[in-house]
């Protein structure tokens, strides 16, 4: 009989090739990996490249970070779809929203607030908005009310005829963000009229 090439029958198709060594009487084949196995293997490599690219290089978020972003977006959508004034909870949940803070900052600069409260909010004719002392309360909803309606003594002019409701919300959000960065000394507080009441976040 003709000498048979290892791994092949005479007619060509592959047969199982035994390797020479024994481990405790166990022998193993030396065959090529099956096509289905190799296909899966290459697919996992391709998957790893896509995964690293999508999540780690392109920066798409996963898990807890993704959830946080989605919840923020949801809170913003709820606010957009509701009519009437925002609740304290809604204002607080928006008080870290960078777009709202930026819009509030722009309104503060254009609405003459600085004339009485100074450009950096530390007070002048009006009180310091960057300390923990408040006449009308440190809740954001209370600030919105004073800004919209003005103070009863008329020294703080009502803004609701000049500004849109959402601009006034954004002003309160911007003031909250200023305070979150720490107090800034300025006009001394009036102990007879201002209560110590740090903003709650």
Give the interface with ligand HEC as residue ranges (CB under 6 A): 108, 111-113, 115-117, 125-127, 129, 134-136, 143, 146-147, 151, 153, 155-157, 159, 171, 194
- Using the minimum distance from each CB to ligand HEC, give the nearer residue, 116 or 141: 116
- Using the minimum distance from each CB to ligand HEC, give the nearer residue, 79 or 113: 113
- Using the minimum distance from each CB to ligand HEC, give the nearer residue, 54 or 201: 201
**Rounded Cα–Cα distance for residues 1 and 41 (Å):** 40
- Closest-CA residue to 90 (of 197, 179, 172, 182): 172
Query: In the bound complex, what is the minimum distance in angstroms from residue 155's beta carbon to ligand HEC?
Result: 4
- Using the minimum distance from each CB to ligand HEC, give the nearer residue, 75 or 135: 135
Query: In the bound complex, what is the minimum distance in angstroms from residue 127's beta carbon to ligand HEC?
Result: 5
Query: In the bound complex, what is the minimum distance in angstroms from residue 175's beta carbon to ligand HEC?
Result: 6
**Rounded Cα–Cα distance for residues 29 and 41 (Å):** 20
**Rounded Cα–Cα distance for residues 72 and 196 (Å):** 30
- Residue 25's region, left for phi above 0, alpha for psi from -120 to 50, else beta, is left
- Using the minimum distance from each CB to ligand HEC, give the nearer residue, 111 or 141: 111
**Rounded Cα–Cα distance for residues 111 and 155 (Å):** 16
Query: In the bound complex, what is the minimum distance in angstroms from residue 85's beta carbon to ligand HEC?
Result: 15
CB proximity list for 105: less than 8 A, separation 6 or greater = 174
Query: In the bound complex, what is the minimum distance in angstroms from residue 108's beta carbon to ligand HEC?
Result: 6
Query: Are 183 and 151 spatial neighbours (Cβ–Cβ below 8 Å)?
Result: no
């Amino acid at each position: 009989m003709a000498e048979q090439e290892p791994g092949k029958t005479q007619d060509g198709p592959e047969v199982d090739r035994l390797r020479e060594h024994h481990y405790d009487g166990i022998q193993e084949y030396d065959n090529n990996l099956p096509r289905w196995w190799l296909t899966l293997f290459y697919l996992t490599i391709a998957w790893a490249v896509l995964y690293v690219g999508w999540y780690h290089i392109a920066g798409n978020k996963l898990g807890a970070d993704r959830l946080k972003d989605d919840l923020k977006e949801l809170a913003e959508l709820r606010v957009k779809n509701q009519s009437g004034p925002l609740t304290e909870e809604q204002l607080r949940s928006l008080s870290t929203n960078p777009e709202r803070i930026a819009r509030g900052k722009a309104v503060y600069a254009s609405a003459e607030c600085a004339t009485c409260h100074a450009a950096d909010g530390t007070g002048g004719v009006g009180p310091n908005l960057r300390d923990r002392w408040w006449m009308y309360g440190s809740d954001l909803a209370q600030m919105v009310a004073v800004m919209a309606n003005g103070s009863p003594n008329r020294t703080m002019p009502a803004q609701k005829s000049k500004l849109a409701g959402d601009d006034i919300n954004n002003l309160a959000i911007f003031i909250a963000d200023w305070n979150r960065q720490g107090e800034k000394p300025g006009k001394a507080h009036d102990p007879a009229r201002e209560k110590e009441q740090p903003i709650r976040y």
